[in-house]
Amino acid sequence: MDVVKVLQTQFGMMHQTMMGTAEGLDAETAHFQPGGRAGSAASNLVHAVLIEDIFLNSFVTGGTPLAYGEWADRTGASELPDMQGGDNTGWDQRVTLDLEQGQQYAEAVFNQSDAYLASISAEDLDRTCDLSAFGMSDAEPVSTALSIILANSNWHTGEVSTIKGIQGLQGYPF
């Protein structure tokens, strides 16, 4: 089995499902506050794409995340959460998203992920990266960081689907 091909397929499916789930959102439905501790569909989408960007472009490759580099101030998000361990209380209730700009940012992040996965071998998945900022080891395998991206994106896509559903819209695109 080619584990990199499996990851490429999983990332492709995750990206397709996330964007398909986001399809049909307008500003009102994207920013609907479902109540309780849940954030809006917009905040869930921003979070999922931003985590993919940060984990891949910072922790895995040691580079600069797009949101803090060439896409700074172009993610579509009104504000980014404090990724340095600051207080993000209420961020998911405050943040707004320009849906068109957010989609362009997401596509740029997804393209970077696809390019990275096309450039690695199975051995690269054993290389270590520092995830201690997230309560993990400073020597986690790259495969763990990629698994976190997949899981996080799928969790938040599920939240977007649910938030659309309680507004009477179709959530997942299937």
How does the average pLDDT of the chain come out, rounded?
94
Distance CA 109, CA 122 (A): 22
pTM of the model: 0.94
% of the chain exceeding 90 in pLDDT: 88
Q: Which residue has the higher pLDDT, 88 or 57?
A: 57
